Amino acid sequence: MTLTVDVGNSHTVVGLWKGGGLTQTLRLSTDAKRTADEWRILLNAWLKDSRVEGKISRAAFCSVVPAASSALGDAIIAMGVKSPLWLSADIKLNFGFNYPQPQTLGADRIADLIAAKHFFGENCIAVDFGTAITFSVLTDGKFQGGVIAPGITSSLEALFSSTAKLPKIAFHQTKSGLGKSTGESIEIGAFVGWRGVVREILAEIKRELPLNGANHKVVATGGISESLDFAPDFFDVVDKNLTLKGLYLAAEETL
């Protein structure tokens, strides 16, 4: 079996693979202070609860939180996995770079591009909704660059934490364009505002692509991606597990 782990700024997503299929996932808050022993106990308990027979023989990770990486790696090695793969631009990938410093590209974005290239071809745009929203562009099988924008959930949390009287609301589609209460006003601002952010960034990206991006598949991923009511307007595919799939493909190719 193969274990894949995507350590993000806010959340960590773990995937368990058997026979080429993703059998179980675990989503938890990222804690940079979690020790190797705590990681090992947590993962062993989850594997036991999953009731999937077999032993983990391979593991692949991507992390944007360096403080969490060492403890997680030590835990996996303690669980019997030799030489887990830490994804980076320095390993063999299924795409190339038209980008000055590929080593600075986030490992999660590399995982997204591995999966996007594998499943959707050499012309695609991967949009990952996490703490930040990242737009990563692949043209003719090479990474061309992208855009990083503030994330939806993190922006709303910043609004609520910085104001004393504004109510906390969930991000969802609104039917009105004019709020009749404070809560409705925030809902409209969030939904219409972020729909506009995605629309405008994609439009700007496509203006710089051959045929205005007509040959590029647009793929959305991230924990919130499947709850975006505007997704059909902008994305050809929505796959919340795209990053885990990229990690698995990297493990298959490298380990």
What is the secondary structure of 134-178 as a DSSP string? EEEEEETTEEEEEEEEE-HHHHHHHHHHH-SSPPP------S-SS
Instruction: Let me know if 90 is a catalytic residue.
Output: no
Calculated CA dihedral for residues 116, 126, 222, 64, nearest 10 degrees: 90
Structure tokens at 11: 């959340």
41-49: long-range pairs with CB below 8 Å, 24+: 43/3, 43/14, 43/75, 43/76, 43/79, 44/79, 46/14, 47/16
Q: What residues contact 83, with CB distance under 8 A and at least 6 apart?
A: 255
Residues 98 and 121 sit within 8 Å (Cβ to Cβ): no
Contact 45, 72 (CB under 8 A): no
Nearest to 63 by CA among 55, 72, 54: 72
* Annotated active-site residue in 6, 31, 74, 108: 108
- Active-site residue list: 108
